[in-house]
């Protein structure tokens, strides 16, 4: 008896609103307007943020809802959403529904509400513009409200809402409830309130977003051996901002680390690699002192950039992402004679090397390395590599990395002998130190190997370093004598 007396379920006109997350406020304003105008008995507006049920697979819920949808509304402000493509879950799936069952409560259709232009997938389907342009957004709130108060029943949104009201009225009639009285004033008021809400939201959106600093996003895959201190070959480099890849003489396009290094010029490849890796690895959990002191010289050698790590992210799959900014450094203007400047810079570099390796009190001297406990050796080796890299980078940054520059300061024979003997010794020191860094623990053999490599370098370089300092000091002394000579002497 109860079943016989049960009232039949009334037919419902169902709307589904599809939108990008950034446009949720616009979708809500449209949903509220439809609900206020049509009621909730013979019309249903489905919005995922309000209608998805917890505990159920969301994609199945969306498909089930689309199977019952009559009007798919797409809110579009040029912010892309995967489901706005032909193969996407919402538009693509609903097009399939329309092909299988073109008639629902009414003839099924897709209606796009857009700002400048409809989404590409519905470009050949008549849509409805919000009528809010960039010029309109420059108006004060009150001016726009006055403008909206002048819209009439011929406005496209008012006409669409009128069609929907008529459809709901027919459903009421067919169900025996009688036609709903249609009030044009209510419809106009509803559309006006919606447009004012949309306008207010768009006024708070970003008008222009420029990144003036050069930014590089570095992404590593899961499984990176952090102790290696080197980026894996498949690390992704993604340029962002204003011409960051111009620094390296490469095109503004994503590139993997191995390709980036292959394209780098020989004289900068090692320096760029060391600098980027040093900044990134300084952010690892056991190295909390972020190294934002690194300096890069551009491919053109006309600019110097400070490399700053602004953000480090770790994902649950153990992949990582690093945001690097390249900020052009202020280069101090040179004063005085170029020869004087070069002699002083050369003397500074030679003394710096001497303080690092050739004086007994240095922590990197072979005698001190021999006394370091093995558990402290990896950090010491890491610091040593960093200082060697800084020495090389300083040479590039101040223009002292070219042999012809040194040729004006020291005898050719001394320069040739140093070039021949130093490179192999430094390579051996680097290899020994790198091997220690890569190991989780160092032993006595590692320590002895590094100490021997440094000792060989010291034995070869000590007399050469002394001769360099003597020649540079004499050069400065001669320059001073020339400066003191009376004019015409």
Query: Which pLDDT value is given to residue 488?
Result: 52
What are the pLDDT digits (tens) for 134-180?
889 989 999 999 999 999 999 999 999 999 999 999 998 888 887 77
Cβ 207 vs Cβ 136: under 8 Å: no
Q: And the tokens for 141?
A: 């709130």
What are the pLDDT digits (tens) for 64-84?
889 999 999 999 887 655 555
Residues 6+ apart with CB under 8 A from 79: 20, 22, 23
What are the pLDDT digits (tens) for 348-357?
889 999 999 9
Query: All domains of the chain, ordered by start, with CATH?
Result: 10-203 (3.40.50), 214-328 (3.30.450), 338-484 (no CATH)
Alpha helices in 149-205 (DSSP H): 156-174, 184-203
Residue among 303, 292, 331 nearest 246 (CA): 303
**pLDDT of 51 higher than 50:** no
What are the pLDDT digits (tens) for 370-409?
998 988 888 888 788 878 877 876 776 666 777 888 888 8
Exposure class string for 98-115: b at 16+ Cβ within 10 A, else e: beeeeebbbebebbbbbb
pTM over 0.75: no
The confidence band for 1, taking pLDDT boundaries of 50, 70 and 90, is very low
∠ CA 297-273-320, rounded to 5°:
120
- Diameter of the chain measured on Cα atoms: 130
**pLDDT of 437 higher than 60:** yes
Share of the chain above pLDDT 90, in %: 40
Helix (H) or strand (E) holding 485: none
What are the pLDDT digits (tens) for 217-256?
999 998 888 777 789 999 999 998 778 999 999 998 999 9
Query: Which pLDDT value is given to residue 125?
Result: 87
Q: And the tokens for 122?
A: 């519905």
Residue among 155, 153, 157 nearest 184 (CA): 153
Lookup result for tokens 């489901």: 83
Query: Which pLDDT value is given to residue 323?
Result: 93
């Amino acid at each position: 008896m109860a079943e016989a007396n049960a009232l039949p379920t009334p037919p419902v006109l169902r709307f589904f609103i599809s939108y990008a997350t950034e446009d949720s406020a616009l979708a809500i304003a449209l949903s509220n307007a439809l609900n206020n105008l049509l009621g909730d008995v013979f019309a249903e507006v489905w919005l995922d943020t309000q209608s998805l049920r917890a505990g159920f697979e969301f994609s199945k819920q969306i498909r089930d809802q689309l199977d019952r949808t009559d009007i798919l509304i797409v809110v579009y402000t040029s912010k892309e959403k995967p489901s706005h493509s032909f193969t996407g879950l919402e538009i693509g799936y609903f097009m399939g529904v329309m092909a299988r069952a073109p008639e629902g409560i009414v003839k099924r259709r897709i209606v796009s509400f857009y700002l400048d232009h409809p989404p590409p997938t519905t470009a050949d389907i008549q849509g409805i513009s919000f009528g809010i342009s960039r010029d309109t957004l420059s108006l004060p709130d009150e001016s726009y409200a006055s403008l909206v108060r002048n819209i009439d029943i011929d406005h496209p949104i008012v006409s669409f809402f009128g069609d929907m009201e008529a459809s709901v009225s027919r459903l009421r009639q067919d169900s025996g409830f009688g036609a709903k009285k249609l009030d044009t004033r209510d419809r106009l008021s509803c559309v006006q309130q919606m447009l004012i809400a949309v306008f207010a939201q768009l006024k708070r959106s970003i008008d222009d977003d420029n990144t003036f600093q050069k930014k590089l996003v570095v992404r590593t895959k899961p499984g990176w051996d952090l102790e290696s201190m080197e980026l894996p070959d498949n690390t992704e480099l993604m340029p962002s901002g204003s011409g960051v890849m111009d620094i390296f003489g490469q095109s503004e396009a994503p590139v993997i680390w191995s390709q980036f290094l292959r394209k780098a010029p020989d004289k900068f490849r090692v320096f760029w690699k060391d600098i980027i890796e040093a900044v990134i690895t300084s952010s690892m959990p056991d190295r909390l002192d972020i190294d934002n002191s690194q300096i890069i010289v551009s491919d053109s050698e006309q600019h110097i950039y400070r490399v700053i790590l602004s953000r480090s992210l770790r994902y649950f799959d153990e992949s990582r992402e690093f945001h690097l900014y390249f900020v052009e450094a202020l280069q101090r203007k040179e004063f005085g004679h170029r020869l004087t400047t070069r002699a002083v810079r050369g003397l500074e570099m030679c003394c710096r090397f001497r303080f690092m390796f050739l004086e007994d009190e240095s922590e990197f001297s072979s005698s001190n390395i021999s006394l370091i406990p093995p558990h402290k050796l990896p950090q010491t080796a890491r610091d040593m590599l960093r200082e060697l890299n800084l020495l090389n980078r300083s040479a590039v940054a101040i223009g002292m990395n070219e042999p012809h520059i040194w040729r004006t300061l020291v005898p050719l024979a001394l320069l040739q002998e140093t070039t021949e003997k130093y490179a192999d010794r430094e390579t051996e020191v680097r290899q020994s130190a790198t091997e220690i860094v890569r190991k989780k623990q160092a032993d006595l053999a590692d320590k002895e190997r590094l100490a021997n490599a440094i000792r060989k370098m010291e034995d070869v370089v000590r007399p050469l370093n002394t001769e360099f300092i003597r020649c540079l000091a004499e050069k400065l002394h001669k320059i001073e004598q020339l400066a003191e000579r009376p004019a015409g002497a």
